[in-house]
Amino acid sequence: MVNLEVKLKDLVLKNPVMTASGTFGFGEEFADFIDLSDLGGIIVKGTTRHHREGNPYPRMAETPSGMLNAVGLQNKGVENFCQDIYPRIKDYQTNVMVNVSGSVIEDYVETAAMINELEHIPGIELNISCPNVKEGGMAFGTSCASAEEVVRAVRQVYKKHLMVKLSPNVTDIASIAKAVEGQGADSVSLINTLLGMAIDAETRKPLLSTVTGGLSGPCVKPVALRMVWQVAQAVKIPVVGLGGIMNAKDAIEFILAGATAIQIGTANFIDPQVSVKIVEGIKEYMIRHQVSDINDLIGAINLK
């Protein structure tokens, strides 16, 4: 038997595999394919203070080894989440966290405060890194001062686990991580998507309605891995790694780079069972390498 349990501060995950916001709906979309209780946690779709229609179609373009998206945080708002969605998902036998986004600080605060009242939601992931909304979103996550401001404000009203999702579209991600740690973040997750773009040469038109969008998939993995490694050395709070993880080998690499847990994102679209396969694959790796506790692998990159 191997121990897969990890802790993000006080939040216990039965294994380090979570699913990334925006790629896993509210979990329900995957219930036909997997048993959600096999996962360490799920992070449901980005939720904002008010209903958002998101961006116009087209919102997606395939790229070599990945995809661009420009969904733009389409969601029905936090009140709808609390009333309609929460009752349906609250009894999942896994950690259900809500990704919270906003355009202004008051929106983040009000949304977080409402989710704070939901007994079965043990934490939120504060999204200060969405590249697809005109106001706010990524803007909060690209300077230390604005990242500190939003985390400080949310920390005052949100009493459970506060994970902050960082943007890779910065010069020095470690300094942003330290800034949010200083304001009381319980963990950081990284990376959100990289700002990218695609053009149809035949029509000379952009492939996304918003021209630019967020790049994800295995094409971003080396960048994500590097950033997780840098951040893990810079902060004391747990780091949750994501970005292009397609299989257990990728997941192990992030853990070795310093991630306490990992999130599966774009891979869910291609194989809706990939998250549980990765849990199994991590177990097999540990048995093969005679590692009895997953915690012994965190940050265990051999630099000698």
Partner 1 sequence: MKKLIQDFELVKYEELNCEHFVLDIKANEPLPEILPGQFVNVRVDNNNSVFLRRPLSIHNVDYDRNVIQLFVKRIGEGTKSLGKLKIGDKLSVVYPLGNSYSIPKNAKTLLIGGGCGVAPLLYLSKFLHEAGNEVTTILGVRSSYDAVGLKAYEPYGRILVTTEDGSQGEKGYPTQHSVLENESFDYSFTCGPEPMMKAVAAYSESKGISCEVSLENTMACGFGACLCCVTDTKKGNKCVCTEGPVFNIKDLKW
Using CB under 8 A, count the residues that bind partner 1: 34
If 0-12 CB within 10 Å is exposed, 13-18 middle and 19+ buried, where does residue 96 land?
A: buried
Q: Where does this chain touch partner 1 (CB under 8 A) — which range of 129-137, 198-206, 271-279, 296-304?
A: 271-279
Question: Is 182 annotated to bind ligand?
Answer: no
For residue 216, give the nearest of 239, 252, 242 by alpha carbon. Answer: 242
Contact in structure between 231 and 239 (CB atoms under 8 Å): yes
- Binding partner 1 by CB under 8 A: which of 95, 193, 230, 268? 268
Indicate whether 272 belongs to the interface with partner 1 (CB under 8 A).
yes
Question: Is 243 annotated to bind ligand?
Answer: yes
- Binding partner 1 by CB under 8 A: which of 6, 43, 71, 248? 71
Indicate whether 74 belongs to the interface with partner 1 (CB under 8 A).
yes
Contact in structure between 220 and 69 (CB atoms under 8 Å): no
Q: Which is nearer to partner 1, 59 or 161 (CB)?
A: 59
Contact in structure between 189 and 242 (CB atoms under 8 Å): yes
User: Is 82 designated active site?
Assistant: no
For residue 129, give the nearest of 191, 57, 201, 222 by alpha carbon. Answer: 191
Contact in structure between 51 and 76 (CB atoms under 8 Å): yes
Indicate whether 270 belongs to the interface with partner 1 (CB under 8 A).
yes
Ranges within 13-42 binding partner 1 (CB under 8 A): 22-25, 29-30, 32-33
d(CA 58, CA 67): 13
- Binding partner 1 by CB under 8 A: which of 5, 10, 12, 56? 56
Q: How far is the CB of 104 from partner 1 (least distance, A)?
A: 23
* CA distance to 76, 128, 192, 241, per residue, from 47 (Å): 8, 12, 15, 21
Please compute, for residue 185, the number of CA atoms within 13 A of its CA located in the half-sphere on the CB side.
Answer: 29
Q: How far is the CB of 65 from partner 1 (least distance, A)?
A: 6
- Binding partner 1 by CB under 8 A: which of 57, 145, 204, 304? 57
- Binding partner 1 by CB under 8 A: which of 222, 273, 287, 289? 273
Residues forming contacts to partner 1 in the complex (CB under 8 A) are 22-25, 29-30, 32-33, 45, 53-54, 56-67, 69, 71, 74, 217, 266, 268-273
